Chain A
Amino acid sequence: MSGFEVERRDKENISCLYVKGFLDAHTAPQFEEAIQNLVDEERFKIIVNLCDLTYISSAGLGVFMGFIEDIRSKGGDLKLSNMTSKVYKVFDLLGFPNLYEIYEDENEAVDKYQKA
């Protein structure tokens, strides 16, 4: 039991990752692998739904940062949704809201991709 789970659901050309538990230096490689799999499959329109994420440290934030440039250069994006206020505060600490699209609800992120 690692305390972290990631589940993937594909909706046409959009892939949504549902993360659950805590994302720290121990579990970040598991999340990194999930995103790497999408990149390898050339699925670059990604939403990460954080509704069940209870904790994140810089190791978790580093995963988002490690992929964003590559994914955007391929015409995709990493959009974030449904984060709790506790998790949002950590993202906010490093200025993530200026660099990432963060939505209250996953459907808003889906709409944004579909209308682009």
Chain B
Amino acid sequence: MTLNKIKKKLQFDSKTSNLVKIRDFVSNLAGKAGFDEDNINKIELAVDEACSNVVKHAYPSGSDYKIDINIEFDDKKFVVRVQDQGKGFNPTELGTPDIKTYLEKREVGGLGIHMMKELMDQVEFNIHPNKKNQVTLTKFK
């Protein structure tokens, strides 16, 4: 049986209190896409890391900003696009930190990005500061 492409999108206020709703939204759809529990957990965590980075680093604190989450899936892959209009960052400046490097430098956002890359099959950054920044997270079936 072939699964037709399904698209869902939701917008959230950029607040850490919304992370639990974001995780529920993503894990529910990953389950519908047919992933096992281990992979659902990985997708859920990767999206949490992407959104946490937006809340913590993309926007000035205390401001009223949004995070857009677009999900597309079919029987081959599950793609999550996390978008914001914040200040962005240069992903090439954030290498793969080891724990000791992180402890010494406390690289902003580096740990979350490292985790996203470990958890997903593909992670792409498309950064246009203050216009549209997008992290695309892909997990293949």
Q: Are A and B bound to each other? A: yes
Interface residues of A (CB under 8 A from B): 3, 22, 24-26, 55, 57-59, 61-62, 65, 68-69, 86, 89-90, 93-96, 99
Give CA–CA (A55, B27) in the complex, Å: 13
Chain A hits for B55, CB < 8 A? 25
Give CA–CA (A16, B55) in the complex, Å: 31
A25 touches B99 (CB 8 A): no
Chain A residue nearest in CB terms to B15: A26
Give CA–CA (A18, B38) in the complex, Å: 25
With beta carbons under 8 angstroms apart, the residue of B52, B102, B115 that contacts A25 is B52
Chain A hits for B99, CB < 8 A? 65, 94-96, 99
A24 touches B16 (CB 8 A): yes
Q: How many residues of B contact A (CB 8 A)?
A: 23
A90 touches B103 (CB 8 A): no
B98 touches A95 (CB 8 A): yes
B20: interface (CB < 8 Å): yes
B52 touches A58 (CB 8 A): yes
B120: interface (CB < 8 Å): no
A57 touches B119 (CB 8 A): no
Q: Mark B96-130, 1 if CB is under 8 A from A, else 0.
A: 00110011000000011011001100000000000
Chain A hits for B4, CB < 8 A? none
B111 touches A90 (CB 8 A): no
B137: interface (CB < 8 Å): no
Chain A residue nearest in CB terms to B41: A86
B111 touches A61 (CB 8 A): yes
A24 touching B56 in the complex, CB below 8 Å, given contacts A61-B111, A86-B41: no
A58 touches B119 (CB 8 A): no
Chain B hits for A24, CB < 8 A? 16, 19-20, 48, 52
A22 touches B20 (CB 8 A): yes
